[in-house]
Structure 1
Amino acid sequence: WHPMWEPLWRAVNDVSLPLHFHTFPSLPQSVRDRQTGLTRRAAFFTSVAGFQMNLVNILAAVIGAGVLERYPNIRISFGESGIGWIPYALDRMDFEWEDRFRDLGLKMRPSEYWRRQCKATFQFDPIGTKLIDDIGVETLMWGSDYPHPDGVWPQSSKYIAEQFGHLPPDVVSKITCENAGKFYGLIN
């Protein structure tokens, strides 16, 4: 939301470059490093378990500051973000905008900016895959996080079958292939 980012938003918009925000720890590394034993493990657990939740602040900032309103060519991906949190965050932003923040200059509900300009990537999120209609199938991109050790590779096929087994093949194809291809301009 800070005006110092305006040149970045303008440049990204002008060249239609995909912009990525990756998950990040909820605790600084220095805090975890000062701990020992089980306290250190608990601090690491806290950090890892809260990775995705920090992205709500970034999403709310780019929407609430009107970045996506002013720059409709910006396309944002929230990497390794999980997806189960998204319906709640969008519902909350829509409610707050309707209730107290109509003065922000947004011409659409926050959830409409999400559907128009944002995507999220995830490896395994069985809760999120139950909420695809609320999130928007066109906003989802599956990834294996290869070659990171916390990713699902080399069991990618197993994870795809397990969490997408209840979905029609065309929806699975969109999430596992087509949406990313379109986002990166590899397919039309």
Structure 2
Amino acid sequence: MKPYTLISVDGHAGLPTAQYRDYLERKYHAAFDDEIEQLAALRKGFLNAGKNATKTPLMYEAHMHRYSDPDNHEMQERIRGAWDLDVRLRELDAEGVIGEVLFPDGQGFNSFPFGGFFGEHPVPIRDPELRAAGARAHNRWLAEFCGASGGRLQGVAMIMPFDIWQAVADVRWAYSAGLRGIVLPPPDETYPPYHEAVFDPLWAVCAELGMAVHSHGGDPPKIYGQSIASQTLAILELGFFRRRVLAQMMLGGVFVRHPNLRFVYTEVGIDWLPNFIDLLEHVYHNDWLRMGQPPKRWLSLSPKDAWARNCAAAATAATFDEIQQARRLGFETVMWGADYPHVEGGWPHSWQEIRQAFATVDDQERRQMVGENAARFYRFDPQLIESLVARIGPPAGTFISDEVPERPEFSVHDFTNGWVNSYGGFARNMRWSLDNTEGYPDSRPSTKPNA
């Protein structure tokens, strides 16, 4: 049998924030300089807090320190792949990953200007014009970065929806620059829900150009206060508000009005999706409001049919239990993500994670989910895939296992870091980093045949 095709549909890339200046329109430079000053002060505070083991309700404090600490030379070198193409391709080769789909970053002080991906970290920026300008700066850099990769990297443009016609223009520019999808910020009160007609021009241009629309895990609304429980509550609901998007688009008729629109959930887990789609299906067929108008009377596409035709999901830092749910979604709609260079993902343990999470799955279905679906969905060059698989693809049989992984005990780190993922994600990396002061965990050699 041929080697596996590994394509990660959840990677992150972004310049250190100060280096975005050359990609930003000149009229925003003064505001940019102010933000850089604030970032410098914040970085100093993080380093001091980390070295003194100060406990605060700030999200990600521990791993932000690992990202930012200049004394952690190994980590500093490996995460340079967020903006250094040579480092990134070296890490991909070591993992046997032939291609990636790239989202904005947001960790390690390399968010793009004026609020970054989430609009909150690390310096809060609320001005819609500034946020959109920062996103365009990132998209310009990302197009250059992916364009120099020889086809291995597919970029996802950050689009701010505050001005729909500007957003439409930004999508057209992104497509012309070689980017192959868009991602929207977490939904909040500053713009209408996605099923409203105001968004139709945006969905129309994405469908026309084949630009997949992504909803990526991100921050919940800032409604948790400043108490010691704030961080725990915010992380607990990290992906909760993203789920509203699927209901809005399915029951709001977006996929009926735009039948060629493609939609992808990324880094929000997949175990909840089958039951949620079942719930939407029940709502679709029943008159819950007792008004004689169940959605099926005015909506010609059921949620299950919409999922099969228009949607897909990225299984980032996937668990065995999650992948078992993929059967209900349809294996052809599930793709794998490593989340490089973020420590809450599968990198640099991709082989171990895949072997554990995809255990007992039929090998052809495994091949679909870890790469073949992504190659088709994101239109990677077949000749490029063939040559890279021959050079770095994991050998046939690498991930085949008949053993069902034991479910480890639930850890406090699993909860406080937001992923009930005992095999990967924050739980594994954070437990390791709290117990070790040198090096970085990497289980790849032990999982490779004849290593």
Fold conserved (TM > 0.5)? yes
Residue among 310, 333, 342 paired with 1:139: 333
Is 1:35 aligned with 2:212?
Answer: no
Tell me how far 1:173 sits from its aligned partner: 0.8
**2:235 corresponds to:** 48
Residues in 1 aligned to 2:298 and 2:319: alpha-carbon distance in whole angstroms: 34
The residue that corresponds to 1:8 in the other structure is 202
Q: CA deviation at 1:72?
A: 1.3
Does 2:130 correspond to 1:130? no
Give the 3-state SS of the residue equivalent to 1:142 in structure 2.
strand
Letter in 2 for 1:179: N
> Is the CA contact (8 Å cut-off) linking 1:83 and 1:120 kept in structure 2?
yes
- Measured after TM superposition, the shift of residue 56 of structure 1 is 1.9
Partner of residue 112 from structure 1, selected from 287, 305, 308:
305
CA deviation map 1:106-132 (0-9, x unaligned): 223211101111111122233221222
1:62 to 221, 240, 249: 249
Q: What is aligned with 2:347? A: 153
User: How far apart are 1:24 and its partner, in Å?
Assistant: 2.2
Structure 1 or 2: more helix by fraction: 1
**% identical aligned pairs:** 27
Question: CA shift at 1:166, angstroms?
Answer: 0.8
In structure 1, C-alpha distance between the alignment counterparts of 2:296 and 2:331, rounded to whole Å: 30
Deviation at 1:58, TM superposition (A): 0.2
Deviations 1:29-58 (A, max 9, x none): xx56x525xx1xx32232223223322210
Q: Name which of structure 1's ranges 51-60 and 14-23 shifts more when overlaid on structure 2.
A: 51-60
Q: Is 1:76 matched up with 2:263?
A: yes
Does the C-alpha gap of structure 1 residues 142 and 104 become closer, same or farther in structure 2, counting only changes over 3 Å?
Answer: farther
Residues 178/172 of structure 1: CA separation in 2 closer, same or farther (3 Å cut): same
In structure 1, distance between residues paired with 2:335 and 2:301: 24
Q: What amino acid is aligned across from residue 153 of structure 1 in structure 2? A: W
- My pick for the range that moved more, 127-136 or 144-153, is 127-136
Q: Retained in 1: the 8 A contact 2:314–2:334?
A: yes
TM-aligned CA deviation for residue 104 of structure 1:
6.3
Matched residue pairs, number? 181
**Whole-Å separation in 2 of the counterparts to 1:79 and 1:116:** 17
CA contact (8 A) 1:140 1:179 kept: yes
- 4+ residue runs of structure 1 moved beyond 4 angstroms? none
Indicate whether 1:166 and 2:357 are aligned: no
Task: Decide which of 86, 90, 105 is 2:273's aligned counterpart.
Answer: 86
Give, in angstroms, the shift of residue 11 of structure 1: 0.8
Runs (5+) with no aligned partner, structure 2: 1-194, 288-293, 383-451
Q: CA deviation at 1:2?
A: 1.4
Label 1:46 to 1:97 Cα distance change in 2 as closer, same or farther (>3 A). Answer: same
Q: Alpha-carbon deviation of 1:6?
A: 1.0
- Give me the CA root mean square deviation: 1.8
Q: Which has the larger radius of gyration?
A: 2
- Sort the Cα spacing of 1:35 and 1:85 in 2 relative to 1 into closer, same or farther, 3 A: same
Looking at structure 2, the residues matched to 103 and 116 of structure 1 have their Cα atoms a distance apart, in angstroms, of 17
Residues in 2 aligned to 1:45 and 1:124: alpha-carbon distance in whole angstroms: 22
CA distance in 1, matches of 2:299, 2:361: 34
Output the CA distance in 1 between the equivalents of 2:381 and 2:231.
Answer: 39
Question: CA 1:187–1:84 in structure 2 vs 1: closer, same or farther (change >3 Å)?
Answer: farther
Q: Check whether the contact 2:203–2:261 (CA below 8 A) recurs between aligned residues.
A: yes
